[in-house]
Amino acid sequence: MIKLPQSDTKALLAIHGWSGVLLGLLLYVVICTGVAAVFAEEINDWASPLPHANAHAFPAGIDAATRRLATQVDPQFHEEIAMFRSAGGRLNLRYHLHDTMPNGKPGERGVEFEVDPATWQPLATRKGWDDEIADQTKPSGVAAFLINLHVRLHIPEPWGLFVTGVLGLAMMIAAVTGILVHRHLLADLFTLRLGRDALLKRRDLHVVAGSWNLPFALILAFTGSFFSFASSVGLPAIAMVTFGGDQAALIDTLYSTARPENKAPAPLANIEAMLADVRHRNHAEPNYISVSHYGRADATVSINTVLPGDELVYSTFVYDGTTGALIREQPPLGKVPSMGASLVGIMYPLHFGNFAGLASKTVWVALGTAAAYVSLTGMLLWTRRREEQLAWRRMSRVVHYVGYGLPLALVCAPYAFFALRSSDVPAITVQDIAFLVVSAAAAVIAFAIQDLDRLRRVLLGCTGVMLLGLPVMRIATGGLGWADAWSAGIGAVPVVDIALLAFGFICLWTARARQARVPAAAEGPAAISTEAHSA
C-alpha cells in the first residue's frame, strides 16, 4: 500500500468523490433514456399509428411497389434500396447511393418514400443525405429523440460516442469492483430491514437493488461501451491500419454482400418469393431488406429477420437478385461463421433485451429502472453524508435537480412533438427545445426551493401530472382512441397509455410521502444509513 501524507489522501479522496458523482450524473441520464429506448418501436407505434395494423412488416404488394417507386427516382439511386418498417406500421423505401459527404466522410444520399402498406401510396417523400432525411422524418420523432440522447447525449459526433463509451467503461468498472469488494454479497441480496428506521430501510433498498443488479449492470456497460467505441474508435483505427484510412473499404470487406461486377441490365427477381423463403427457413419475420444494384445482372437481395425464438444471434440471408436463389446465410460479421461474428451478433440482444420479444424487453426495462435507482440513490447517499461541507451541500442539490428534473424534462418533450407534429420543424428539434426549456425551469425550481425533500416532492408531482396528461395530449392532437386502436390491431396505443397513467399515479403517490430526517449524531458511524435522502 502506498503511504501518502494525510493532506494528499484527502485531496485524492475529494477527486475520487467529485469525479464519481459527476460521472454518475451523466450515467444516470444515459440509463434513464436507455430504459425508455428499449421500447422505441412500441413508443413510435403509440405516438404515430396508422389507422390499421399489418400482420407482416412487408405485406403482399411490396414487390410491385418497389418497382413502381424505382421509376420515380434518378437511376443513380438504384445503387441500393433499403426497406424497413417505421413508426405505426409505415414502410420506408430508401433509394440511395454511397458517396463522400462535404466533410470528407463516407455517407449516403438519395430519396426515401414513406408509404402506407394498406394502399401503397406515399405518405411522404424525403431527399438528401441520411442526416437530412432523418431530420425530415416526423412519425419516429419521439423515439429518435430518446435514442439520440441515450447514444450521444446530443453531443456532435464522434464526441458524444466517446462520452457514452467512457460512461459505459465507468459503469463496468463499478460493477466489477462492486462484485470484488462485496464482503457480504449473498447476505446483501436478501437484507431488507423493513421494520427499522425509514432511512435505514431506504439504504437497504439501495444495497439490495445494487447487489441484484450487478450482473445486469456489467452486461449493459460492456455492450454499451462496445457500441460507442466500435464506430467511433474501432472502425477508424482498423481502417487506418489495414486500408489506409478507407472506412468504406473496411465496411465493404466486413459486411458486403456484393457479387462480381456485371452492369448488364437484368430484371429483379420477385421479392415476395424471397421473403416467403426466408420465413420458411428461419421461422421468423423479416424486418429489413437491402437490394444492391437494382436492375443489373449482379443484383443481390439481403434480408434480415427478427431473432428466432431459440437463437440469440441474427443472420442475413443473401439472394441472387436475378434468379431469387439463396447464395448464403451470412453471419453478423464477415462472410463465414466465426466466434468473433457470434460475439458481435450477441451484443445486440444483450444490450437491447429483444431476444424474447415483449417479455425480455419488459425485464430489461425493470432491470434498467433498478440501475437508475441505484445510480441516483448512491449519489444521494454520498452527497448527503458530506453535507457539512458547503460544496457538497450544493452538489446534493444538483443531484436532486438531475435525479428528479431529468424525468420531468423527458416526459414533457413529447408534448412538443404532439403539438407541432403537423409543422415543418424537425421532430427532434422541437423536442430538444422543449427538453431544454423544462430543464431550465426545473433548475430555477431546484434553486428556489431550499428544502430538498420538498424539492423532490414538487418535481415528482409535476412529473406525475405530466405523465397523466400525455395520453390526453396524444388524443387531443388527433391520435387514435383506445377502441379504434384495439379494433385496428394496434395494441401499443392502449398499453403505452395505461403504462403512462400507472407511472403517473406512482409518481404522485411517491410525492405525497415526506422523508424522515435524522441528525447525523444520532447514528455516529452509521450516518450513511440514517441521513440519506433517497429516491
Closest CA to 452 of 535, 367, 366: 535
Task: State the DSSP code for 520.
Answer: G
Q: Is 242 within the bounds of a domain?
A: no
By percentage, how much of the chain surpasses pLDDT 70?
Answer: 84
**How far is residue 406 CA from its own chain's centroid?**
16
Q: Is 415 within the bounds of a domain?
A: yes
Q: 374 with 440, same domain?
A: yes
Confidence of residue 81 (pLDDT cuts 50, 70, 90): very high
314 touches 279 (CB < 8 A): no
Residue 480 belongs to what domain range? 6-47+156-226+353-530
Closest CA to 27 of 172, 126, 176, 140: 172
Q: Is 400 within the bounds of a domain?
A: yes
430 touches 418 (CB < 8 A): no
The residue among 321, 352, 383 that closes a domain is 352
Interstrand relation of 300-305 and 316-320 (parallel, antiparallel or unpaired): antiparallel
Task: Give the pLDDT mean for 352-372.
Answer: 87
What is the gyration radius of the CA atoms in the chain, in angstroms?
Answer: 26
Q: In what order do the strands lie in the sheet with 316-320?
A: 121-129, 106-116, 91-100, 80-85, 286-292, 300-305, 316-320, 326-330
Poorest-pLDDT segment among 137-141, 197-201, 391-395: 197-201
**Quick one: which H or E segment has residue 286?**
strand 286-292
Confidence of residue 334 (pLDDT cuts 50, 70, 90): confident
Residue 288 reports pLDDT greater than 80: yes
Poorest-pLDDT segment among 192-196, 222-226, 267-271, 437-441: 192-196
The model's pTM:
0.82
Beta strands in 156-238 (DSSP E): none
Task: Please give the pLDDT value at position 533.
Answer: 36
Q: Is 53 within the bounds of a domain?
A: no
141 touches 421 (CB < 8 A): yes
Q: Is 487 within the bounds of a domain?
A: yes
Q: Is 234 within the bounds of a domain?
A: no
Which residues partner with 106 through β-bridges? Answer: 100
Residue 457 reports pLDDT greater than 80: yes
Number of domains in the chain: 3
Report which of residues 194 and 5 the model is more confident about: 5
Q: Which three cell numbers stand for residue 223?
A: 455492450
Residue 520 reports pLDDT greater than 50: no
d(CA 303, CA 276): 11
Q: 21 with 99, same domain?
A: no
Closest CA to 415 of 427, 401, 405: 427
Residue 528 reports pLDDT greater than 60: no
Q: Is 146 within the bounds of a domain?
A: no
d(CA 337, CA 404): 46
